[in-house]
């Protein structure tokens, strides 16, 4: 998958000019936020659960190797196989191998961000597989040949009209020639088309929200039930997961499930919580003959060693992006890789290299909303600041910003000079905005002021204003 995170500024311009995207973002803006707020307020122990969940994950991350080995043993005992992949390329090779060995032609897929990290659809198509996404949002973007723009609502950037056109264009080969516009009709049409795919699939691939170490179970949370049909009907079931998905026991699972639904969609629980544990037993009425779990590292074990380890607590609820003004204005594609929003601005540079995503840590106002709503108490603003410091240390900041920071560092060590220059600056700003009452295209601040007015200064600095307020 092409990484375009280094083009973030260009991507942003394109996103801001895309009227259909802006209209889709506007419609989705308050939905998740309002629903989460109601769901969280209705649960008195939400704060206690957040603390508990963060403690569990911290413990797991401190003993990650032990829990992963315990999980592997449990899966093997249940008749399944665990495969370890250090890189997305290794993961792809493993999955291609399983599909080829099964002589598969048709593959159904549930939503999996790890599958996106591996660019799995393309990799399977390259070896002749017919791959169909079964999550409605993923199915829509597969038809549009795009990637997800949100980790729980992959097609959130699409308007209803765009989906109508996509279905009309692609469903003729299934004998559907009528244009559908109502949401329920769109959903029914997708159901009709996907039903055929479920039945003919040789291999089903799903993601996993959690892996439970002591039972070897894999837990998948969905709202459509497509995960169950993807996993139970084909003769081979492959689960894609990453190393930090592990939790110790079912008891711990109950903590995470109560946080996940509320934080993601404002639901008390997602509609389906499916638990898989090995291939079908002789007494089972259905289920796969083969059961494989592919666990990807892709730089995560390296993250464990350093200052960004807390990011590994993430349960992919999407709350941080739902509350982020930057994400809400530009959507997910601008971030240029698999993970958008505040969590993506931390994950992406760590996984694809800071030099390939140097703008992302700056795609943030540091308003702190993401940390406030994160169910796993991940200090996203602090992590973003640390990435900014690394950008500076590694010389990945442009010369203007570097020079500005150096001047500021010098001035902050010389308070008298600092105050004098500030005073002159405030007076200049006052003069510049005196007539209009506001300033447009502020020199050195044009990115802020090109599209919105900057209020004219009163002529005093913040400190002088503060002192005069105190005196009055």
Q: Which residues bind ligand SF4 (CB under 6 A)?
A: 314-320, 343, 374-376, 378
CB of 151 within 8 A of CB of 316? yes
Shortest distance (Å) from residue 322 CB to ligand SF4 = 8
* 324/426 with CB nearer ligand SF4: 324
* 143/319 with CB nearer ligand SF4: 319
Please list, in sequence order, all residues whose beta carbon lies within 8 angstroms of the beta carbon of residue 48, skipping any fewer than 6 positions away.
Answer: none
> Rounded to 5, what percent of the chain is helix, strand, coil?
55, 10, 35
* 318/381 with CB nearer ligand SF4: 318
Tokens of 370: 């993401």
* 102/315 with CB nearer ligand SF4: 315
* 37/316 with CB nearer ligand SF4: 316
Residue (of 381, 457, 330, 429) closest to 13 by Cα position: 330
DSSP string, 180-205: --SHHHHHHHHHHHHHHHHHH-SEEE
Shortest distance (Å) from residue 94 CB to ligand SF4 = 26
Shortest distance (Å) from residue 318 CB to ligand SF4 = 5
* 230/265 with CB nearer ligand SF4: 265
Shortest distance (Å) from residue 259 CB to ligand SF4 = 9
Shortest distance (Å) from residue 29 CB to ligand SF4 = 17
Strands 236-242 and 203-206: parallel
Q: Alpha helices, DSSP H only, in 78-150?
A: 88-101, 113-118, 120-126, 136-143
Shortest distance (Å) from residue 264 CB to ligand SF4 = 8
Residue (of 320, 350, 60, 95) closest to 211 by Cα position: 60
Shortest distance (Å) from residue 347 CB to ligand SF4 = 9
What CA–CA distance (Å, rounded) separates 26 from 130? 35
Residue (of 267, 257, 222) closest to 35 by Cα position: 267
CB of 156 within 8 A of CB of 24? yes
Shortest distance (Å) from residue 334 CB to ligand SF4 = 17
Specify the residue for token string 């990799």: 123
CB of 140 within 8 A of CB of 163? yes
* 115/318 with CB nearer ligand SF4: 318
What pairs with residue 272 in β-bridges? 222
* 378/429 with CB nearer ligand SF4: 378
């Amino acid at each position: 998958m092409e990484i375009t995170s280094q083009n973030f500024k260009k991507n942003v311009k394109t996103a801001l000019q895309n009227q259909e995207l802006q209209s889709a973002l506007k419609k989705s803006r308050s939905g998740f936020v309002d629903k989460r707020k109601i769901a969280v307020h209705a649960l008195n122990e939400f704060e206690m659960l957040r603390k508990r969940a963060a403690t569990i994950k911290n413990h797991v991350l401190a003993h990650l190797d032990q829990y992963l080995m315990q999980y592997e043993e449990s899966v093997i005992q249940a008749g399944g196989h665990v495969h370890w992949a250090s890189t997305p390329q290794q993961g792809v090779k493993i999955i291609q191998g399983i599909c080829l060995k099964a002589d598969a032609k048709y593959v159904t897929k549930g939503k999996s961000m790890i599958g996106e990290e591996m660019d799995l659809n393309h990799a399977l198509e390259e070896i002749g597989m017919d791959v169909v996404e079964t999550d409605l949002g993923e199915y829509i973007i597969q038809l549009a040949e795009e990637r997800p723009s949100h980790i729980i609502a992959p097609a959130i950037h699409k308007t209803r009209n765009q989906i109508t056109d996509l279905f009309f264009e692609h469903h003729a080969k299934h004998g559907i020639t009528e244009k559908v516009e109502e949401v329920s009709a769109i959903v029914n049409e997708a159901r009709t088309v996907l039903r055929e795919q479920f039945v003919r699939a040789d291999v089903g691939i799903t993601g996993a929200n959690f892996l439970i170490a002591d039972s070897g179970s894999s837990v998948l949370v969905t709202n459509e039930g497509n995960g169950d049909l993807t996993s139970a009907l084909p003769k081979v079931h492959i689960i894609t997961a990453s190393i930090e998905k592990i939790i110790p026991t079912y008891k711990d699972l109950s903590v995470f499930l109560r946080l996940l639904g509320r934080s993601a969609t404002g639901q008390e629980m997602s509609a389906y919580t499916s638990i898989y544990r090995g291939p079908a037993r002789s007494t089972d009425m259905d289920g796969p003959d083969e059961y494989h779990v592919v666990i990807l590292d892709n730089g995560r074990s390296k993250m464990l060693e350093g200052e960004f380890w807390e990011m590994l607590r993430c349960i992919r609820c999407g709350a941080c992006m739902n509350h982020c003004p930057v994400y809400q204005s530009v959507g997910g594609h601008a971030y240029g890789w698999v993970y958008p929003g505040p969590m993506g601005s931390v994950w992406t540079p760590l996984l694809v290299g800071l030099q390939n995503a140097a703008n992302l840590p700056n795609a943030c106002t540091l308003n702190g909303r993401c940390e406030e709503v994160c169910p796993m108490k991940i200090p996203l603003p602090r992590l973003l600041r640390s990435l900014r410091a690394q950008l500076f240390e590694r010389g990945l900041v442009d010369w203007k910003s570097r020079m500005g920071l150096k001047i500021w560092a010098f001035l902050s060590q010389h308070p008298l000079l600092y105050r004098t220059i500030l005073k002159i600056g405030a007076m200049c700003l006052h003069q510049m905005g005196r007539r209009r009452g506001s300033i447009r295209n502020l020199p050195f601040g044009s990115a802020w002021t090109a599209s919105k007015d900057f209020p004219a200064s009163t002529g005093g600095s913040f400190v002088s204003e503060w002192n005069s307020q105190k005196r009055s």
